Structure 1
């Protein structure tokens, strides 16, 4: 799989264009370009949401501490002995998150052609941080009940599922990008793509049905703390992790890979889309890095 991953970053410009044939890459491009939250038109809103989401991460840490200090005595889950989601973890990852964000912004240098990919990469980094936080929270809470062996089995199961999903998508991307026609079609990849497309198109219907169901048939005000409640939470945890792996492999990675090649072959993509340097790079980047240099193209009137 490592070899396949390396191939993905060494495609030619012509091969990288094959990424545009991926239905989910095409969906991500159209969806992000039209949303002011991602394309830079609602920058203040994006910053506000980012601050709220970072505070939510800190809230996870404090909630875990509360579960350690004041556990529910009526719950099936015993009092945790080890806190894997410490406050130091939050500060370390906050520093890493901000450092990567500032570094990528600095390297981008107001380049309009790749600005949206910098924003989406920052969103992706937050999701990775969130998935780590959620997993450490559940490991802290469930380790004693599941025992070390049970927790290892759960983590191995998630690792195997993640490997299958990522390997399937990497193979599919190599076939699409390298334009290998004699390869057998990847059935797992095709199945997952169809599922994701259905979720993107009809997921809101499921949400509405669940809301109506809960309204008509309420379960009561208190959450279940018996074995059924524990199994529900465990299944939710596994589903959350698997959903993240699929979203990462099928939505974010191919889309950000397209952004990588758009940066690597910037001029080629500019000519491919038929834009001038000013339109492509933006006024600030053009005036600072291109205007008056050998890179500037002179257009004859």
Structure 2
């Protein structure tokens, strides 16, 4: 079952990578209904168009695009496949496998732009993939799980949602710009999706013990829907603020970290994990996070944005 779960997660990773590129293209090329300008033009206050915040009308125009709808369909397929994988194997094994979406997104974006990824981008992607790969291997011997109480589940859910709100506000703040804005928003999305995965796993455990219509299962279902809706909304802002590779990299680092922590706290998946293994898991997570920061710094979009800001400062 674990091998099947990993295989399903690989399929999900491909779906998420392609979906990210399609939706990023739709988000960054859709003309704002209220402004006669497109991404790449310089607008008011010398701010590059496409880096302002998404309005409701703009988002509505985006979701009508064929590419966005295609990406949404692939993301939905990836979510279903990943959900099935979560029913078959522990969070600690399933979630980190999605890191393969990072190199896929890098290659797809490079192919679309007809340019080779820079050395910094490749190093960032390699560190991210390597860090999470070690995370998967170290997590493969996960311990047995148990069904948590409704109180514990609610408390953990509220803590994670508070983190999502904090990161979301940081990313949507008016002073937030460039890669930092994208990182904050993508991290908020990843935390929401990590909670979503944990709630799916808790619901599966509770359904087996107490029945599918138990309050805990229904509560997890409601929480999972809320986490999905919030994540789906914030991820459009993340695509609007930065490159798809950066968004995917954040998702594949923060998401499994949140899921693993919740799995250990709520489901006891780390109850027999030795201290040395936890140290290895921590080192792997830090390595992956460094990879994301390098990827965000060296991505061509970030380099172009810095060059544009420097040119505006010189002109001023």
Structure 2 length-normalised TM: 0.30
**Which of structures 1 and 2 has the larger relative contact order (alpha carbons within 8 angstroms, sep 6+)?**
1
Q: Which has the larger radius of gyration?
A: 1
